[in-house]
Chain A
Amino acid sequence: DTAVSQTPKYLVTQMGNDKSIKCEQNLGHDTMYWYKQDSKKFLKIMFSYNNKELIINETVPNRFSPKSPDKAHLNLHINSLELGDSAVYFCASSQGTSGYNEQFFGPGTRLTVL
């Protein structure tokens, strides 16, 4: 059974388009995250939700908007895509917000903006 799943796995789109990436976890966790891995493989937190409430919102352009319809889902919508948005986006989840609680990562979504 897939623990943290993301759709789609690959996304190729044109500049200026709007796209969404979906994330679902079946672990019963209450906290979910979005991380971005750039072309140099550097990973950085973008957002985190705990019980559907936004708790982490790093310095991210407001073209990026996360939405958590319930504890098992965290979607990422990106408006007006730019070349620099090309990256791998990882969703993760954990039970609780302590470092004691392992964060489980999804397989990643490779976004390519042309």
Chain B
Amino acid sequence: AQTVTQSQPEMSVQEAETVTLSCTYDTSENNYYLFWYKQPPSRQMILVIRQEAYKQQNATENRFSVNFQKAAKSFSLKISDSQLGDTAMYFCAFMKSRFTGANSKLTFGKGITLSVRP
């Protein structure tokens, strides 16, 4: 079974600064997907960024980038130029990549609460 661990329950960052959120996972799979989801106070789950394990290049989406270390099973999210709207819970998630329906479930970490201070 896969597990996703987010050991930091909360973090705080000053507006315009950079923050890194940590995530580790455990799996025996070789190919899989990793995700970061954002859940603002509105409760809506929003996909921030996705990484395919077979791709060595780290994914980036505007101010969001990841540091994917496959051997270490580590998947951290870096938010640059933090904005007040980044205040939210952030969830790291894992999904197997084999193309069978039963593998399409997301396994989530416990989440981290990020507060951006003005």
Contacts and interface: CB of A to CB of B under 8 A. Distances in A.
A44 B26 CA distance: 17
B104 A55 contact: yes
A99 interface: yes
Q: Majority SS of interface residues in chain A?
A: strand
Contacts of B39: 41
Interface of B: 32-33, 35, 39, 42-47, 50, 52, 89, 91, 95-97, 99-108, 110-111
A66 interface: no
B99 A41 contact: no
Residue among A48, A90, A94, A99 with the highest chain B CB neighbour number at 10 A:
A99
A49 to B, nearest CB: 9
24 contacts: A31-B101, A41-B110, A42-B108, A43-B106, A43-B111, A45-B105, A50-B101, A55-B101, A56-B101, A56-B104, A58-B105, A90-B45, A97-B104, A98-B97, A98-B99, A98-B104, A99-B96, A99-B97, A99-B104, A103-B106, A105-B44, A105-B45, A107-B42, A107-B44
Interface residues of A, number: 28
A90 B105 CA distance: 13
Interface string A89-114: 01010100111101101011010000
Interface in A8-22: none
A97 B50 contact: no
A48 B105 contact: yes
A58 B47 CA distance: 23
A110 B110 CA distance: 19
B97 A102 contact: no
Contacts of B42: 107
Nearest to A51: B101
A100 B33 contact: yes
Given A42-B110, A99-B96, A48 B43 contact: no
B108 A102 contact: no
Residue among A44, A58, A92, A98 with the highest chain B CB neighbour number at 10 A:
A98
